[in-house]
Amino acid sequence: MKNANIPHVAVAIVGGGQAGLSVACQLQKKGIESVVFERHEKFHSWRVNRWDSFCLVTPNWQCRLPGFHYDKEFGGTDPDGFMLREDITTYLDAFAATFEPNLYEHVTVTRIAHHPQGGYVVETTIGTWTCDQVVIATGGYDKPIEPAYAEALDPTIVQMHSVDYRNPAQLPEGDVLIVGTGQSGVQIMEDFVRAGRGVHLAVGPAPRSPRKYRGRDATDWLHDAGHYKITIDTHPDPVKAMTQTNHYMSGRDGGKEIDLRKWHVDHGVELYGSLANMDGCRLEFLPDLAKNLDDADRSYVGIRDQIDSYIARTGIDAPEEPPFVKVWEPESERTELDIKEAGIASVLWAIGFRPDYSWIEVDVFDARGKPKFHRGVTDVHGFHFIGLGWLNTWGSGRFLGIEEDSAYLADQIAAQLKDTSKRAVA
């Protein structure tokens, strides 16, 4: 397959975030050559696609890149804290410096396809490579989601997606409508409240989590109870695990839980159900506010129950907590709103992203365009994914699970390369 005029590498990795560079690190330990292509600069999403006050939602101790844990090799002094954006990039840059990956920044991969003689052709904006194995580490955050009806909104209302949001001063004076209550939506909500801005929130079906409970961070309890070791293969409801939005809470000010009912009562945040349509100045909401709040609370209480069961089962002496009580219930649900009469001058979309795999010409996708794999290894020899949610466990796609996931994938790549070499000799 090698051509003197075309560079060849054993493994081509697409994506220079923590997932792609973790695989490069693990391969380097095995003496396997790789090249990493990153269309921006390494760790771009952390550097650029985060707002000014962004901080981790999971504690710093969960930052466990290969051989570079926050509180060990990095020497971090606040394992129970939540790093700010600048601290995160410092940690990531320090990790990359430990092994100096063969990284091409500001290079876009435009096409990957099978090579007629085996392996793959990787076409980029600076030329073509061939390789034996491919790892896709681009994540699932390529295309910001905005519904088609957003185009029908009165053009005098400013619209912005969370990927472009940095601080409240970007948006005009007046109230803001935030659409979506995942981790981004609720944290941006707090930004505007702190800035003294009026906030309207279209509440979606995202679940929520306790932060501190019975004397410890909830994630500490769940880790000790083995919750984060559950694999997608053994999960009691894998479809729910794969499709559920992340639980919302915050790492701000040392960590806090987010109860939207309290934000309505204490800070005047106006709550609506899911946004369903826009037409000029008229907004339509589904009558699902009460349901979405109740579902989020059910998740919250369920996590508390899990922790209670673990404490009881192990006989741990932990302080008791009062039962959860709703501080507010919607008496009725508003399903229509004139956006200008409500004083709303801008809309901020926080309803997620879609991946873009249009440049991959390899049959590794299902009918919906979703990658098919087991622990990142596809049925197509030499083609792999990393950095996606529930690749194996809850920690996949997060700092907590990337060391294990990248080590496993590196082992699989090494085995496949060895097998290919044996067959070539035979």
pLDDT in tens, 320-329: 999 999 999 9
Q: Residue 367 forms beta bridges with which residues?
A: none
pLDDT score of 55 more than 80? yes
Give pLDDT, residue 426: 46
Q: What's the number of CA atoms in the CB half-sphere (13 Å) around residue 68?
A: 20
Q: Region 322-350: what's the mean pLDDT? A: 97
Phi, psi torsion values for 73, nearest 5 degrees: -65, -35
Residue 29 has pLDDT above 90, yes or no: yes
40: phi then psi, degrees, rounded to nearest 5: -115, -120
**Which stretches within 81-172 are classed as H helix?**
85-97
**Domains of the chain as residue ranges with CATH:** 8-142+355-425 (3.50.50.60), 146-349 (3.50.50.60)
Predicted TM-score of the model (pTM): 0.95
Averaged over 351-360, what is the pLDDT?
A: 96
Q: How many residues appear in the chain?
A: 426
Question: Count of alpha carbons within 13 Å of 339, Cβ hemisphere only?
Answer: 27
pLDDT (average), residues 267-284: 98
Residue percentage of the chain with pLDDT more than 90: 95
Is residue 146 within 8 Å of 170, Cβ to Cβ? no
In whole angstroms, how far apart are CA 173 and each of 107, 160, 184, 256, 342? 39, 14, 21, 28, 13
Q: Which residues contact 331 (CB under 8 A, 6 or more apart)?
A: none
Residue 391's nearest CA partner among 6, 57, 23 is 23
85-130 pLDDT, tens digit each? 999 999 999 999 999 999 999 999 999 999 999 999 999 999 999 9
pLDDT of residue 294: 98
**CA distances for 80 relative to 92, 95, 211, angstroms:** 18, 20, 12
